[in-house]
Amino acid sequence: MAWNVYLSGEIHTDWRERIEEKAGQADLPVTFSAPVTHHEASDDCGVQILGAEQNKFWHDHKGAQVNAIRTRTLIGKADVVVVRFGEKYKQWNAAFDAGYAAALGKPLIIIHGPDHQHALKEVDAAALAVAETPEQTVEILDYVINGRLAGYNA
Amino acid sequence: MAWNVYLSGEIHTDWRERIEEKAGQADLPVTFSAPVTHHEASDDCGVQILGAEQNKFWHDHKGAQVNAIRTRTLIGKADVVVVRFGEKYKQWNAAFDAGYAAALGKPLIIIHGPDHQHALKEVDAAALAVAETPEQTVEILDYVINGRLAGYNA
Amino acid sequence: MAWNVYLSGEIHTDWRERIEEKAGQADLPVTFSAPVTHHEASDDCGVQILGAEQNKFWHDHKGAQVNAIRTRTLIGKADVVVVRFGEKYKQWNAAFDAGYAAALGKPLIIIHGPDHQHALKEVDAAALAVAETPEQTVEILDYVINGRLAGYNA
Amino acid sequence: MAWNVYLSGEIHTDWRERIEEKAGQADLPVTFSAPVTHHEASDDCGVQILGAEQNKFWHDHKGAQVNAIRTRTLIGKADVVVVRFGEKYKQWNAAFDAGYAAALGKPLIIIHGPDHQHALKEVDAAALAVAETPEQTVEILDYVINGRLAGYNA
Amino acid sequence: MAWNVYLSGEIHTDWRERIEEKAGQADLPVTFSAPVTHHEASDDCGVQILGAEQNKFWHDHKGAQVNAIRTRTLIGKADVVVVRFGEKYKQWNAAFDAGYAAALGKPLIIIHGPDHQHALKEVDAAALAVAETPEQTVEILDYVINGRLAGYNA
Amino acid sequence: MAWNVYLSGEIHTDWRERIEEKAGQADLPVTFSAPVTHHEASDDCGVQILGAEQNKFWHDHKGAQVNAIRTRTLIGKADVVVVRFGEKYKQWNAAFDAGYAAALGKPLIIIHGPDHQHALKEVDAAALAVAETPEQTVEILDYVINGRLAGYNA
Amino acid sequence: MAWNVYLSGEIHTDWRERIEEKAGQADLPVTFSAPVTHHEASDDCGVQILGAEQNKFWHDHKGAQVNAIRTRTLIGKADVVVVRFGEKYKQWNAAFDAGYAAALGKPLIIIHGPDHQHALKEVDAAALAVAETPEQTVEILDYVINGRLAGYNA
Amino acid sequence: MAWNVYLSGEIHTDWRERIEEKAGQADLPVTFSAPVTHHEASDDCGVQILGAEQNKFWHDHKGAQVNAIRTRTLIGKADVVVVRFGEKYKQWNAAFDAGYAAALGKPLIIIHGPDHQHALKEVDAAALAVAETPEQTVEILDYVINGRLAGYNA
């Protein structure tokens, strides 16, 4: 069985690449998906395709709705949803995705550093795993898919 | 991942062909589906296969129900539902499909010209994108599937 | 058991009042609900409460979304959805509601005159009853709720 | 029909009281619910009832899960979910609730000031209304429940 | 808690009255519902309200669809569905109701005499109880609702 | 897209073979499935595998439950459910399957001769097509899948 | 809002009475429900009402299915499901109920002593609270319903 | 059609291997899945990947939640769920899985020896087959998938 894993959240570090690279090394049968991570394209897709808006609210609204075609479809098809919270920004879309996935009954893996532990307690409480690094996430996927755990012979 | 996109609505212009052609040029991984667009066959399929009716209401009813086997199945399997409203006719089946898809939680893209803007406000309000041309629809699909947006380098 | 019946569609004749009056005479245990039928309020509610828009599209959009809070909630709670198509206008919101209710599995009663029979065939094909008058609708409700049918002794 | 309205989000201003007061003045048939807004109780409920934890993560986890018994139940029963984002803090639980409610198909009303407009665009894009004040929220409820709109005679 | 119990099937003996009478004697908190059991009204309701049909198929179709407004609504609201198969007739609607209720996850109680045991094995296999008499059905309801079982002191 | 079509009902004539043969000639992209149609195996599968029963009721029960593993799974995966009622026997399992499929929202095609028209009116009323012959069923599938209708040029 | 709380599991100690008594003292707006806790009635209800069985397996089967009419209905209506594991017996029905409730998305509170901690880890991992005493359960209910927490002023 | 069959429960005998071997001999189109059956890895996976815990409860909790990513996903994808109860241990996770699968409407096959018959009556009552050996399970799969039953010619 191939697993679909959606990678939501922070778009300013290379955590998705690190996950995909390590998963490739482990030859995991996983198809990763994600939001569009090109920041400007993600902001402007609505007006660029459907016409400019004078009001910034509708500029943003059009883009966010076009992005939702992608994100809701991919979250809906995911077997596992991973959400990473970075150091900066409000990242409310990340928390929104976590809530959305939780209500759909998707297994959640949350990644964040220790500084955000208290602020993310409600999100963490809905997760089946709380990791600090992308590498841990791949180890979890390797375990839940293949039963492999370093130091434990198969 | 291949996407299933259902193209509902107007059957008297070549908008579906324009979408499929442009999607082919962009090599999008999309399977398009649609109602039967042969107007007479669509009207007569019920009585042609299952026997004539003297009463026009039942003639229409039999055909509409046979068509529903196709349309409800394909909408149910669709990842995205596109509904185009043309210039003429009541097109209540198009609006019905939009409502049907909305209740199933399918992302909706509505296509119509500026003249219908006020009359379609409830339908537009349920959509994630409101376009004017088939070409815009393909640009949306290219963006939500591939993350490609003209003028924004990947 | 009290039944919830939602009355969707045309807002320019007194068909809702006729249904409610006749249902009252028959003492039916029905709670009727409907969209806001004040045309101007329905158009302007969004901007009136949440702030004006220069662009007519967003003026309409804001209003249609506020109205959707009401209509989707009430359709969701309805046991039966009645949709009337009048003589005039596009009435795409009526057909949208019919599709929305159909996808939720709500029993549908459609009311329209004979002129619209062919144009509404897909909508009628999803209905459990197609009536011409509000009075017939009340007779249906009286029958399905109380088992009363004129000329048939209980 | 009585409406259930869940008030999620910020707990450091009196916005819930303002909504409830104004709704009371308008005699709206609404039952409001909310998370426990006593900050310390909300943090400590898990360990206070079920036993202390040395590790802060589990202290938080126990509390967040006990709170989830309340919040998920009440969101699940809500007809409308209102989420307010205040000026301060990360408020990831507010965005999580918005995503959770959206996936359940609940009509969403989001309240926030203009400063957060860009950061909240994905959340706003899932809402049926975006307000700035608690008072606007009550006006929306009055309109969607009673059809009342200031300046428009019934 | 009041229980809703739907009594489907045979309409030519007094089994529903026997259940309701005995349940009344036991003071069970049950609201019973059923299809319209007036045979002629049930056959003719469609044409009587909505207009005559020359073709017997459509005469029956209109009536069966009007009856479905009642039966699907009441089965949908039922906590328990009881289906009785009598000695005569095809009773396909009874078996249809049993299948319909089974797919909705409703607990099924089937009542039939020993002669039909083999022919009903698929229906019985979907039931949580197979009884021979209406009185047994009330004893089951008394037990599952009140925990009362003759000969076993509370 | 390949369609899954489940063929329920009568097991004593060659109607399934006629459907599959004609569908093969038309090269329809359909995977057909059906209950086990070996009458004795179908009756005895439970006791043959899981041990004999003295009581005929439990003999039947064990077999019917084992068969249900197959039938419920295949109906659940079907895009279209076809149910044929033959001339003989009670065929309650056929009507049960029709009800089961209807509650799951599966498009139903019912096949029966004119003699059963009145007795099957509730079942027919839940169907999207009522045919008399297996050949008509294939014509419907060819139309809904390929849009082909004899006498109407593509 | 009144809450429905289902109390599953152990039937040989007075834990349900302790919960109901303490909840009564706190005047909680809770309706408690439970399986039939009369051990012999619970074992014999099937054969007592529906006829004796020689084979012990079917004796048990009939009873367990009659009990399921009650338990599945009440779990389905519950807002919160509490499952207590006692010191003795296999208590597989308690774990079955926990799994059943978890799949329905019901908030779970598990009660057990420290000895069972390792054996119940999968069950505990699906719960929102793990308590040791009935009294803690009432404190949780008082907190999640009323926001009351001893030592924290409202 | 390939069938997905999940094998839950006992991990200390070779019953899974016996099922897979016999299914391979019969060339069944089945993909089997299972929990991680390496006992120590299953216990330690949480802390091994995500960091040690001093408290045994959280050690177990972290592991059980990581395992749940696998088990809930695979049960959710299964067409049939088989649960085996062995001679030893509490095996509450096996009963939990059975309840979880039952609530999802998955066909259940339970395997256990005669000693556990009374203790498992509620679990058995939710199953479509109760077997004693792995070999019987394969015979059931061969019958429900291929219609093959030893001694009955196809």
> Do residues B98 and B123 lie in contact, with contact meaning Cβ atoms separated by under 8 Å?
yes
pLDDT tens by residue, E36-90:
999 999 999 999 999 999 999 999 999 999 999 999 999 999 999 999 999 888 8
Q: Enumerate the β-bridge partners of residue C75.
A: none
Q: How confident is the model at residue B89 (pLDDT cuts 50, 70, 90)?
A: confident
At residue F18, the 3 state secondary structure works out as helix
At residue G32, the 3 state secondary structure works out as strand
Does A130 contact H50 at a Cβ distance shorter than 8 Å?
yes
> Do residues A9 and A100 lie in contact, with contact meaning Cβ atoms separated by under 8 Å?
no
Closest-approach residue (CA) in chain A for B147: A36
Tell me if chain D has a CB within 8 Å of the CB of A117. yes
Does E46 contact C147 at a Cβ distance shorter than 8 Å?
no
The span from the CA of G150 to the CA of G113, in Å, is 23
The span from the CA of E46 to the CA of E39, in Å, is 13
The span from the CA of H132 to the CA of H142, in Å, is 17
Which residues in chain H (7-26) have CB-CB distances under 8 A to chain G? none
Compute CA B141 distance to the chain's CA centroid, rounded to the nearest angstrom: 14
Q: Tell me the count of D-G CB pairs closer than 8 A.
A: 64
Closest-approach residue (CA) in chain E for F64: E122
- What DSSP string runs through E39-90? HHHHHHHHHHHH---SSHHHHHHHHHHHHHHHHHHHHHH-SEEEEE--SSS-
> Do residues E69 and C139 lie in contact, with contact meaning Cβ atoms separated by under 8 Å?
no
Of the candidates F64, B125, G24, the residue with the CA atom closest to the CA atom of residue A65: B125
Residues sharing a CB contact under 8 Å with residue D39, sequence separation 6 or more, in sequence order: D11
The span from the CA of E113 to the CA of C16, in Å, is 49
Q: How confident is the model at residue D65 (pLDDT cuts 50, 70, 90)?
A: very high
Of the candidates D28, D37, D36, D38, the residue with the CA atom closest to the CA atom of residue D4: D28
The b-or-e profile of D111-122 (16+ CB within 10 A means b, else e) is bbeeebeebbbb
Tell me if chain F has a CB within 8 Å of the CB of H47. no
Q: How many CA atoms lie within 13 A of E98 on its CB side?
A: 32
- What DSSP string runs through D123-137? HHHT-SEEESSHHHH
Residues sharing a CB contact under 8 Å with residue H12, sequence separation 6 or more, in sequence order: H86, H88
> Do residues F32 and F16 lie in contact, with contact meaning Cβ atoms separated by under 8 Å?
yes
The tokens describing D51, both together, are 């036993």
For chain C, domains (ranges, CATH) are: 3-37+78-146 (3.40.50.450)
pLDDT tens by residue, G58-106:
999 999 999 999 999 999 999 999 999 998 888 999 999 999 999 999 9
Residues sharing a CB contact under 8 Å with residue H133, sequence separation 6 or more, in sequence order: H111
Amino acid identity, position F153:
N
Residues sharing a CB contact under 8 Å with residue G133, sequence separation 6 or more, in sequence order: G111
pLDDT of residue D26: 96
Closest-approach residue (CA) in chain B for C56: B118
For a pLDDT cut of 70, what percent of chain B falls above it? Answer: 99
DSSP character at residue H116: G
Closest-approach residue (CA) in chain D for A83: D96
pLDDT tens by residue, A68-117:
999 999 999 999 999 999 988 889 999 999 999 999 999 999 999 999 99
ipTM above 0.85, yes or no: yes
What average pLDDT does the segment C130-147 reach?
A: 98
Please tell me the distance in Å from A104's CA to the nearest CA on chain C: 18
Q: Residue A55: list chain C partners with CB under 8 A.
A: 53-55, 58
Does E73 contact C130 at a Cβ distance shorter than 8 Å?
no
> Do residues A35 and A108 lie in contact, with contact meaning Cβ atoms separated by under 8 Å?
no
At residue H129, the 3 state secondary structure works out as strand
Query: Exposure of B146 by Cβ count < 10 A (0-12 exposed, 13-18 middle, 19+ buried)?
Result: middle
pTM equals 0.97
> Do residues G42 and G34 lie in contact, with contact meaning Cβ atoms separated by under 8 Å?
no
pLDDT of residue G25: 97
> Closest to E73 (Cβ–Cβ): which among C79, C130, C136?
C79
pLDDT of residue C97: 98
Can you point out the beta strands (E) in chain F?
Answer: 3-9, 30-33, 80-84, 108-111, 129-131
Please tell me the distance in Å from D103's CA to the nearest CA on chain A: 5
> Do residues F75 and F92 lie in contact, with contact meaning Cβ atoms separated by under 8 Å?
no
Residues sharing a CB contact under 8 Å with residue A46, sequence separation 6 or more, in sequence order: A53, A59, A60, A61, A62, A63, A64, A65, A66, B129
3-state secondary structure H26-91: CCCCEEEECCCCCHHHHHHHHHHHHCCCCCHHHHHHHHHHHHHHHHHHHHHHCCEEEEECCCCCCC
The CB density around residue F13, as the number of other CB atoms within 10 Å, is 13
Q: Residue E95: list chain F partners with CB under 8 A.
A: 92-96, 99
Mean of pLDDT over chain F:
96
Does C56 contact B117 at a Cβ distance shorter than 8 Å?
yes
Please tell me the distance in Å from G126's CA to the nearest CA on chain H: 8
Answer yes or no: is pLDDT of E129 > 80. Answer: yes
pLDDT tens by residue, G118-138:
999 999 999 999 999 999 999
pLDDT of residue A81: 98
Answer yes or no: is pLDDT of A153 > 90. Answer: no
What average pLDDT does the segment F4-29 reach?
A: 97
The span from the CA of D89 to the CA of F2, in Å, is 52
The span from the CA of G133 to the CA of G130, in Å, is 9
Of the candidates G85, G67, G78, the residue with the CA atom closest to the CA atom of residue G15: G85
Handedness of CA F90, F94, F100, F102 (dihedral sign): negative
The span from the CA of H65 to the CA of G130, in Å, is 14
DSSP character at residue A152: B
The tokens describing B50, both together, are 């299952």
pLDDT tens by residue, A26-50:
999 999 999 999 999 999 999 999 9
The region that residue F113 occupies, defined by phi over 0 for left and psi between -120 and 50 for alpha, beta otherwise, is beta
> Closest to D122 (Cβ–Cβ): which among A96, A121, A124?
A96
Closest-approach residue (CA) in chain E for C80: E69
Answer yes or no: is pLDDT of D57 > 90. Answer: yes
Residues sharing a CB contact under 8 Å with residue H42, sequence separation 6 or more, in sequence order: H11, H35, H36, H63, H67
The tokens describing A131, both together, are 């990791």
Compute CA A152 distance to the chain's CA centroid, rounded to the nearest angstrom: 29
Does E119 contact F95 at a Cβ distance shorter than 8 Å?
no
Does A143 contact H66 at a Cβ distance shorter than 8 Å?
yes
Closest-approach residue (CA) in chain B for C73: B103
The span from the CA of B110 to the CA of D121, in Å, is 21
